[in-house]
Amino acid sequence: MFDWLAYDFMQRALVASSILSISIAPVGVFLVLRRLSLAGEAMAHAIVPGIVIAFVAFGLSVISMITGGMIAGIVVALATSMLARRTLIREDGSLASLYLIALALGIFILSAAGSAVPLKSFLFGSALGIGDDTLVLIGVIATITLFSFAIMLRPLISATFDPVFFETQSRHLGLVQQWFMFLLVLNLLAAFKSLGTLMAVGLMILPATAARYWVSTITGYLLLTFIFALLSCWAGLILSFYLSNVPTGPAIVLVAGCIFFISLFCAPLGLLRGSIVRK
Partner 1 sequence: MLSLHDIALGYSGETIADNVSLSLEAGQICAVIGHNGAGKSTLLRTIMGLQPPLAGRIAWTGAKPRTIGYLGRSTEIDCQFPVRIKDVVAMGAWNGLDFWTGIDSAKTRQIDDALARTGLAKIADRPLFECSSGQLQRCFFARAIVQDAPILLLDEPFSAIDQTTQAQLVEIIQQWRAEGRAILIVLHDLSAVMTLSDSCLLLGRHRARFGQTTQIITRQNLLSHDYITEAQASLLSLPESAGECDV
Please give the distance of CA 160 from its chain centroid, rounded to a whole number: 18
Please give the size of the binding site for partner 1, defined by CB under 8 A. Answer: 29
> Where are any strands of DSSP class E within 61-191?
none
In this structure, are residues 199 and 125 in contact, taking their beta carbons and an 8 Å threshold?
yes
Phi, psi for 269 (deg, rounded to 5)? -105, 10
| Rounded CA separation 120/99 (Å) | 18
In this structure, are residues 76 and 97 in contact, taking their beta carbons and an 8 Å threshold?
no
For residue 224, the tally of other CB atoms under 10 A from its CB is 21
- 264 binding partner 1? (CB under 8 A): no
| 158/187 with CB nearer partner 1 | 158
Shortest Å distance, C-beta 157 to partner 1: 8
List the one residue out of 36, 15, 29, 51 whose CA is nearest residue 192.
51
| 115/217 with CB nearer partner 1 | 217
- Rounded to 5°, angle at Cα 29 from 222 and 62: 105
- 275 binding partner 1? (CB under 8 A): no
Please give the distance of CA 24 from its chain centroid, rounded to a whole number: 6
Letters for 17-46 (x = contact with partner 1 by CB under 8 A, - = none) are ----------------x-------------
Q: Applying CB under 8 A, which part among 37-45, 121-129, 213-221, 228-236 lies near partner 1?
A: 213-221
List the one residue out of 227, 191, 192, 189 whose CA is nearest residue 208.
227
In this structure, are residues 175 and 148 in contact, taking their beta carbons and an 8 Å threshold?
no
Out of 8, 150, 274, 275, which residue is the one contacting partner 1 (CB under 8 A)?
150
For residue 44, the tally of other CB atoms under 10 A from its CB is 28
Out of 52, 215, 238, 255, which residue is the one contacting partner 1 (CB under 8 A)?
215
Out of 87, 162, 261, 265, which residue is the one contacting partner 1 (CB under 8 A)?
162
List the one residue out of 260, 265, 243, 237 whose CA is nearest residue 37.
260
Out of 59, 131, 174, 220, which residue is the one contacting partner 1 (CB under 8 A)?
220
What is residue 163's DSSP assignment?
A: H
Out of 151, 266, 271, 272, which residue is the one contacting partner 1 (CB under 8 A)?
151
- 279 binding partner 1? (CB under 8 A): yes
Q: Applying CB under 8 A, which part among 127-135, 165-173, 180-188, 225-233 lies near partner 1?
A: 165-173
Torsion of CA 244, 120, 53, 96, to 10 degrees: -110
Out of 1, 112, 114, 217, which residue is the one contacting partner 1 (CB under 8 A)?
217
| Rounded CA separation 27/169 (Å) | 24
- 141 binding partner 1? (CB under 8 A): no
Q: Applying CB under 8 A, which part among 15-23, 41-49, 128-136, 148-156 lies near partner 1?
A: 148-156
| 211/254 with CB nearer partner 1 | 211
Out of 1, 114, 164, 242, which residue is the one contacting partner 1 (CB under 8 A)?
164
- 268 binding partner 1? (CB under 8 A): no
Which residues are near partner 1 by CB under 8 A?
33, 150-154, 157-158, 160-165, 167-170, 212, 215-218, 220-221, 276-279
